[in-house]
Structure 1
Amino acid sequence: MEPFYAIGIFLFVLFLLLGSGVWIGLALLGVAYVGMEMFTMRPTGDAMMTAVWRSASSWTLTALPMFIWMGEILFRTRLSEDMFKGLAPWMARLPGGLMHTNIAGCAVFAAVSGSSAATLTTVGKMTIPELRKRQYPERMVIGTLAGAATLGLMIPPSLTLIVYGVSINESITSLFIAGIIPGLVLAGLFMLYVVGVSQISKTYTPVPEPKISFGEKLKRSRFLVPVLLLILLVIGSMYTGLATATEAAAIGVVGALVLAAAQRSLTWSVFVESLMGATRTSAMIALILAGAAFLTLAMGFTGLPRGLAAFIGSMELTQFQLIMVLMVFYIILGCFLDGISIVVLTIAIVEPMVRQAGIDLIWFGIFIVVVVEMAQITPPIGFNLFVLQGMTGHPMSYIARAALPMFLIMFGMILLLVAFPELATWLPEQVRPVRGVTPAA
């Protein structure tokens, strides 16, 4: 069977199911089922059972619900309020003022959340009222928050990197470490944008903050100590080789519970709500992964990944040309699907192309995260745009225009990664393998 005929069948069934409102995970299972029935003689039920069980029984995936639970616990604490109190004195004197709290706050919370939506909601519910009260430009407030919240996908722990690592059988710890420098560089680019706009825009006239002494700044910094300690505990345990990603996730949950108890915001209802929220999100992702595993098996029988890889190889694209083609491909997909769905849906097809082109898989994981970040603020399905619409009441068109500069900055980040791949590959190379555990752990 010609691979490109199979592509047409797969895409037709996929968009038919997605257009009918079927859950993404079930849609992937349905596409795989049709593919198995049409293109193979193997019993479909046995194949589905094997693929789904294999995807669900991965020990590495234990890290996913644990990191989600950690973020859910912290989301229900006074963390965002404390972060603003601790960051504001240091950001106020920078060119651009307190607008930087959007970016710095998202970067800090990203390091304990792993979720773009949780980062956006937690930081936004505190900074938006405060920045509005000080008369910062509304479009800048919304735009920087939309862009900076995507750092939750890059700075470890990242749910997208966990899914990518499991899908491609790559070390999650190495992927986490690879995301640190690009995440900080991207945050720095966002802050440089704020500095530039604050210097040239005539409408950037916020109410100035009162001057406070250095001692008072240090005193207010105590609000940042708990979350910084939690970040050091989680990331430091992986960086030093004391814990795998899964073990670090468990450490993070315990640390989050202790932090919530210390803030006196750990009630029984908070505990149950956080656990149920993590369960719902984890179940959704697990269903998507199960559907993707079955679809990967079905596509393997058709020879689709090999056929596409051979076709791309025959075009003799350079690495840069291939990266640009894949970037456009992922941005288009991002207009219709969420980030995790994009990764699990495409990795079986894209991986052979990337390997054949000699592209480092750790680097490619960071590239995918940046492109998925771009998808988070791309209409019509950009998830961050929907969250901001609910928080601010602005129309989608207004929020999309406000986020456009952040989209362009992320494109610039991709060019930086292409020009300087060491941004993503240098730090993982300095960390030795962790205690002989399996690569994906």
Structure 2
Amino acid sequence: MDLSLVAVFLGLGMLAALATGIWVAVALFAVALVAMVLLVSAPAGPVMAITVWGSANSWDLTALPMFIWMGEILFRSRLSEDMFAGLAPWMRNLPGRLLHVNILGCGIFAAVSGSSAATAATVGRMSLPELRSRGYDENMAIGTLAGSATLGLLIPPSIILIVFGAATEQSISRLFMAGVLPGALVCALFMGYVILWSMLNRSKMPPKEDPIPLRERIYATRRLFPVIAMIVGVIGSIYAGLASPTEAAAIGVVLSLILSWFSGTLTRKSFVDALLGATKTSCMIAFILAGAAFLTVAMGYTGIPRELAAWIGGMELTPLELLLALTVFFVVLGCFLDGISVVVLTTSVILPMVQQAGIDLIWFGIYLVLVVEMSQITPPVGFNLFVLQSMTGHNIFRVAKMALPFFFLMIVATALIVAFPQIVLWLPNTMMSN
């Protein structure tokens, strides 16, 4: 049978399985098993067993549950209150004022969480009531939070970068380093937009509050010290070469427990809830990765990725044209699947094309995460939209409309890293060469 027809049938089978509402991992296993049984002479059972064991037996993946646990602990602490109190005094004189607290607060929490949804929930439960009570425009308050929370996927330690690194056998340390400058770029674009919007819409801004003396602002900043210490301890240990991502994750868990204990939020219930939450999330991701690994092997046996890469190569697309097509593909796919599922579903098929086009895989990982970030604020399956819908009571499409300007700003960020790849590659190349 023509491999192109096989690929179409398998793709339709995957879509049909997902449309039934079954777990993504089960759909991956089912499609891979059908391909192995019907199209390949190799024994499906032993191949599946060996592949699943190999996908689970990865040292890099041990960092995943630790970082997730760290985020769960901090989610149950009073970190959001401390960040708001520490950042707000410094933002009052900037155009847009406290709207910037959403952006910077999400950037800071992303650096100790790794999760987009957790970032939205943690920062939003403190900032949205405060901004509402002070008379800030609700559309901008929710929009800045929806857009900025996606930084949880990009700024290290990013859970999705760990998944991408494990799936593609790329260095997680290098991926973490590569995410820093693009994360800062997205923050700068968001803050620039808020400044411009506030200057053009002065009537929608609340009256200016009394200025806070410099001494009081400095004193308020002390509440940021614990989270800054965590960032230095976790990310700094990786960049300095003192710890691997797994070791840094363990350091992060210890530091988060200490921070939670000192803040008075560490109780038996919060500890158990955080542990159970981390266990559920980690098992879900591990199950998806196992299914994706089996599908990758099954596709390798059928020869579909190789033929697809040759077909794409025969079209003689430039790297820019390929990236443009992939951007549209990932955004559409992200409308129906969460970010981790998008990464593990497409890796086996997309990677041969990307490698044939001569695209650096570290750079491609950051590009992929940026595009997946867009899908976090696109209906009908935008996880940040679900979080904010539950927090605000607004219709999910209304929340998506509020976040639309930030969707376009992420497109701008993606275009900038395509035009200037060193935004992504400079830091990992510099740090790893020293």
The answer to whether the superposition gives a TM-score over 0.5 is yes
TM-score range, shorter chain: over 0.9
Structure 1 SS opposite 2:98: helix
Aligned to 1:103: 103
* Per-residue CA distance 1:165-205 (angstroms, 9 max, x = gap): 01110000000000000001101100001001001125422
Aligned to 1:5: 5
State yes or no: 1:208 paired with 2:204. Answer: no
Aligned to 1:235: 235
**Could you tell me whether the CA contact under 8 Å between 1:110 and 1:155 is conserved in 2?**
yes
**Deviation of 1:420 (Å):** 0.8
Find the aligned partners of 1:356 and 1:394 in 2 and give their Cα distance. Answer: 45
Aligned to 1:137: 137
Find the aligned partners of 2:282 and 2:203 in 1 and give their Cα distance. Answer: 44
Q: Measured at CA, do residues 388 and 276 of structure 1 come closer, stay the same or move farther in structure 2, by a change above 3 Å?
A: same
State yes or no: 1:415 paired with 2:415. Answer: yes
How do 1:350-361 and structure 2 match up within 5 A?
350-361=350-361
Q: Which amino acid aligns with 2:72?
A: E
**Could you tell me whether the CA contact under 8 Å between 1:69 and 1:278 is conserved in 2?**
yes
Q: Which amino acid aligns with 1:297?
A: V
* Per-residue CA distance 1:290-310 (angstroms, 9 max, x = gap): 110010011111111111111
Find the aligned partners of 2:130 and 2:55 in 1 and give their Cα distance. Answer: 44
* Per-residue CA distance 1:376-419 (angstroms, 9 max, x = gap): 11111111111111110111221111111011000000110011
**Deviation of 1:433 (Å):** 7.5
* Per-residue CA distance 1:298-343 (angstroms, 9 max, x = gap): 1111111111111111111111111111100100100111100000
State yes or no: 1:21 paired with 2:37. Answer: no
In structure 1, runs of 5+ residues without a counterpart are 435-441
How do 1:51-66 and structure 2 match up within 5 A?
51-66=51-66
**Deviation of 1:2 (Å):** 2.5
Q: Which amino acid aligns with 1:300?
A: G
Q: Which amino acid aligns with 1:412?
A: V
* Per-residue CA distance 1:118-146 (angstroms, 9 max, x = gap): 00000000000000011111111111111
Find the aligned partners of 1:3 and 1:105 in 2 and give their Cα distance. Answer: 49
Question: With structure 2 as the length reference, what TM-score do the two structures score?
Answer: 0.99
**Could you tell me whether the CA contact under 8 Å between 1:117 and 1:384 is conserved in 2?**
yes
Find the aligned partners of 2:311 and 2:287 in 1 and give their Cα distance. Answer: 31
Aligned to 1:127: 127
How do 1:28-427 and structure 2 match up within 5 A?
28-427=28-427
Aligned to 2:428: 428
**Could you tell me whether the CA contact under 8 Å between 1:241 and 1:432 is conserved in 2?**
no
Q: Which amino acid aligns with 2:299?
A: M
Find the aligned partners of 2:9 and 2:53 in 1 and give their Cα distance. Answer: 26
Structure 2 SS opposite 1:313: helix
* Per-residue CA distance 1:222-264 (angstroms, 9 max, x = gap): 1000000000111110001001111111110111011111112
Q: Which amino acid aligns with 2:421?
A: P
Find the aligned partners of 1:205 and 1:191 in 2 and give their Cα distance. Answer: 15
Q: Which amino acid aligns with 1:204?
A: K
Identity %: 57
Aligned to 1:437: none
Structure 2 SS opposite 1:379: coil
**Deviation of 1:79 (Å):** 0.3
Q: Which amino acid aligns with 1:396?
A: I
Find the aligned partners of 2:304 and 2:195 in 1 and give their Cα distance. Answer: 48
Moved runs in structure 1, 4+ residues, more than 4 A? none
Q: Which amino acid aligns with 2:15?
A: F
Find the aligned partners of 1:141 and 1:39 in 2 and give their Cα distance. Answer: 53
Q: Which amino acid aligns with 1:415?
A: A
Name which of structure 1's ranges 371-380 and 425-434 shifts more when overlaid on structure 2.
425-434
Q: Which amino acid aligns with 2:180?
A: I
Q: Which amino acid aligns with 1:329?
A: F
**Could you tell me whether the CA contact under 8 Å between 1:335 and 1:379 is conserved in 2?**
yes
Find the aligned partners of 2:214 and 2:201 in 1 and give their Cα distance. Answer: 30
Find the aligned partners of 1:124 and 1:92 in 2 and give their Cα distance. Answer: 19
**Deviation of 1:431 (Å):** 1.7
Q: Which amino acid aligns with 1:360?
A: D
Find the aligned partners of 1:372 and 1:220 in 2 and give their Cα distance. Answer: 36
**Deviation of 1:432 (Å):** 2.6
**Could you tell me whether the CA contact under 8 Å between 1:330 and 1:342 is conserved in 2?**
yes
Find the aligned partners of 2:365 and 2:426 in 1 and give their Cα distance. Answer: 14
Superposition RMSD in Å: 1.1
**Could you tell me whether the CA contact under 8 Å between 1:84 and 1:127 is conserved in 2?**
yes
Q: Measured at CA, do residues 203 and 291 of structure 1 come closer, stay the same or move farther in structure 2, by a change above 3 Å?
A: farther
Find the aligned partners of 1:414 and 1:240 in 2 and give their Cα distance. Answer: 28
Q: Measured at CA, do residues 418 and 41 of structure 1 come closer, stay the same or move farther in structure 2, by a change above 3 Å?
A: same
Aligned to 1:438: none
Name which of structure 1's ranges 26-35 and 114-123 shifts more when overlaid on structure 2.
26-35
Find the aligned partners of 2:379 and 2:161 in 1 and give their Cα distance. Answer: 23
Name which of structure 1's ranges 37-46 and 234-243 shifts more when overlaid on structure 2.
37-46
Count of aligned residue pairs for this structure pair: 434
**Could you tell me whether the CA contact under 8 Å between 1:3 and 1:304 is conserved in 2?**
yes
Find the aligned partners of 1:50 and 1:295 in 2 and give their Cα distance. Answer: 13
Question: With structure 1 as the length reference, what TM-score do the two structures score?
Answer: 0.97
Find the aligned partners of 1:418 and 1:20 in 2 and give their Cα distance. Answer: 37
